[in-house]
Structure 1
Amino acid sequence: MNNIKVNFSIKDLENLTGIKAHTIRIWEKRYNLLSPDRSDTNIRNYSLASFQKLLNISYLNNNGLKISKIADLDENQIPIKVREIASRAKVEDHAINALKMAMINFDQVLFYSTYNNLLENKSFSEIFYSVFLPLLNDIGLLWQTKTITPAHEHFLSVHIKQKILLNTERLQLLEPKPESKTFVLFLPENEIHDIGLLFINYKLRSKGYHTIFLGESVPMESLSDLLGFFDEITFVSYFTVYPEIKDIPDYINKFHDLLLNKENTKLLLLGKRFSDFQLENIPEKISIFNSIENLVKDL
């Protein structure tokens, strides 16, 4: 149990639940919903149970229960009410909260049970779009604010990757469409965030396309080796952290000159980097997408 995070600051709770620290203080004072310990300098310190309770309170409040009504519930009635609403309402928020708890506690059993419960009513793609993507966005912010450690982020990422790979493996017996175009999926040098690219690979395979997944940190020059093997290649890449924003125009122009001279070749791009700035004068044969869903839908 030594690896479990058991103490949280009010800023941690704000980052993890999305509830402002000011609101948390009001809920404590006016409704006595939480009772943090305090240091000698009067700094609040919250337990793991307080974090879990606040997640449940947030869920109930977001689903229409007034905070005064929640405050009237007995301690043991709150999780019961959460399960009751989750069983007949939108389950995504509840699942995201459960997966956050799994991450904080490095709890594989909770991760798998939450995922399996989702599978009862949703396809894998629906789970990825409605639960995993919003969760990963939250986790990125939590890591940046040092609310969680890299170990927490890796725990969650590895388990999501396992689910993508498992579902992709089930497609391997499907033969690609006759005369199918080839998609080459890669990440640029120094880029290691491959979950989005793995999911795109899964969606392309599910549509019957031939894919070659090269993974992280691929030198641009090495991609030229594939041009002699296939008549029609669509390169796909995902920029999360690299290249640096200032280097993206040069990267794209170099890619165009080196790899897109052959007929029936093009490059599809997406990722967080393209939300940080607007790229002008995009070369021919290169398309930029604002989401995985839009890229897959366009194919």
Structure 2
Amino acid sequence: MKQVDNPIRVASARSGLSTHAIRVWERRYGAVKPKRTGTNRRLYSDVEIERLTLLRLATASGHSIGNIATLPLAKLKSLVSEAEPEGRRARPGSPAQSFHDACLQAVKALDDRQLGEQLQRALVALGQQGLLRQLVAPLAQRTGELWRAGVITAAHEHFLTAALKVFLGNVAGQFASSPIAPAIVIATPAGQLHELGAVIINAAAAQLGWRTTYLGASLPAAEIAGAAIQSKAVAVALSIVYPEDDPHLPHELISLKHFLPAEVKILSGGRAAAAYSEILTRIEAIQPTDLDAFSLQLDALRKAASGREVGVNTPFLSRTI
């Protein structure tokens, strides 16, 4: 297979590191050794981007970059697999933290019974909003990071997605929305196969009383727009997670904007959304950064649908899945 070399912009989007951090870690610690073009532009291989991702996760867990910058890839994977980033831990000993650890172990073991039991217990202990914000969103983000770093396989991530799709679907089904409640269509655009972020969004919107139409992964723009028109949706929510450099996605987004009625708003987020920020801004997509911001935007859109003023466009899930 031909080796693909990526510019620093793509390396930044995929690794979660700023371009400044990548340059510093390269120059000061020898963390990676990118190729150079004739014009001295850096080019990073997929292996080097994987290495940068692992280094970011390991430093977030408390390791010094100076001590780990030149470690072999296998050792970095081991460090990341054993550690949980400080910034994502719940309070030590808290229910959310214990559920997170237990669920992650169940995912690694592909143990659907244990995962289901932990999710059910978490729902009782944390409540519906707490389940999404304190457990499901951080768990999805952590699992995605471990997959991207090569610590777990795509099978593990798909296992979690399948389990949460059923579990959160059942939770969302408990919310009987009013026939006059605002409607939202939720999907991932064509080429975006990772749907866990969309699953979480669907549950969050249902909990807020919206009529949700969940379409799943990798839908063409015309199909998404058709569903929005048929359901008389106020908004369309898109989860954009991977890849960060799909040359076809900008066209899909522009087409979606063209097909939708002018009054239908587009919300878009996910790990890879930042890589498409220019085109998302061009189509006037609302870009919340997390679940809380997403909820605020839904509240604003609901008020607008009722004839009240829409709130400001705050910058959704930019790094959740």
Bin for the TM-score computed over the shorter chain:
0.5 to 0.7
* Aligned position for 1:184: 185
> Which deviates further from its counterpart, 278-287 or 128-137?
278-287
Aligned match for 2:170, one of 166, 173, 191: 166
| 1:149 equivalenced with 2:150 (yes/no) | no
* Aligned position for 2:116: 112
| Structure 2: tracts of 5 or more residues without a match | 1-53, 69-73, 299-321
Q: CA deviation at 1:137?
A: 1.6
Q: Is the 8 A contact 2:254 2:283 kept in 1?
A: no
* Aligned position for 2:201: 200
* Aligned position for 2:221: 220
Greater RCO, CA 8 A, separation 6+:
2
* Structure exhibiting the larger radius of gyration computed from Cα positions: 1
Secondary structure, aligned partner of 2:166: helix
Residues 219 and 199 (structure 1 numbering): CA distance in 2 closer, same or farther, change over 3 Å? same
Counterpart CA distance in 2 for 1:229 and 1:176 is: 17
Q: Is the 8 A contact 2:183 2:210 kept in 1?
A: yes
Q: Is the 8 A contact 1:183 1:209 kept in 2?
A: yes
Q: Is the 8 A contact 2:241 2:271 kept in 1?
A: yes
Q: TM-score, normalised by structure 2?
A: 0.59
> Which one-letter code corresponds to 1:98 in the other structure?
A
> Which one-letter code corresponds to 1:192 in the other structure?
L
Secondary structure, aligned partner of 1:298: helix
| 1:270 equivalenced with 2:274 (yes/no) | no
Q: CA deviation at 1:228?
A: 5.5
Secondary structure, aligned partner of 1:217: strand
> Which one-letter code corresponds to 1:271 in the other structure?
G
Secondary structure, aligned partner of 2:98: helix
- The list of structure 1 runs, each at least 4 consecutive aligned residues, that deviate by more than 6 angstroms after superposition, is 21-25
> Which one-letter code corresponds to 1:148 in the other structure?
I
Pairwise CA RMSD: 4.1
Residues 129 and 232 (structure 1 numbering): CA distance in 2 closer, same or farther, change over 3 Å? closer
Q: Is the 8 A contact 2:266 2:286 kept in 1?
A: yes
Residues 247 and 293 (structure 1 numbering): CA distance in 2 closer, same or farther, change over 3 Å? farther
> Which deviates further from its counterpart, 213-222 or 242-251?
242-251
Q: TM-score, normalised by structure 1?
A: 0.63
* Aligned position for 1:286: 285
Secondary structure, aligned partner of 1:122: helix
Counterpart CA distance in 2 for 1:214 and 1:149 is: 25
Counterpart CA distance in 1 for 2:167 and 2:246 is: 31
Counterpart CA distance in 1 for 2:280 and 2:144 is: 30
| 1:238 equivalenced with 2:242 (yes/no) | no
Residues 194 and 227 (structure 1 numbering): CA distance in 2 closer, same or farther, change over 3 Å? closer
> Which one-letter code corresponds to 1:257 in the other structure?
H
Q: Is the 8 A contact 2:187 2:215 kept in 1?
A: yes
Q: CA deviation at 1:208?
A: 2.8
> Which one-letter code corresponds to 2:141 in the other structure?
N
Q: CA deviation at 1:128?
A: 1.9
Aligned match for 1:127, one of 114, 119, 131: 131
Residues 208 and 225 (structure 1 numbering): CA distance in 2 closer, same or farther, change over 3 Å? same
> Which one-letter code corresponds to 1:186 in the other structure?
A
* Aligned position for 1:31: none
Q: Is the 8 A contact 1:102 1:110 kept in 2?
A: yes
Q: Percent identity?
A: 16
Q: Is the 8 A contact 1:256 1:283 kept in 2?
A: no
> Which one-letter code corresponds to 1:199 in the other structure?
I
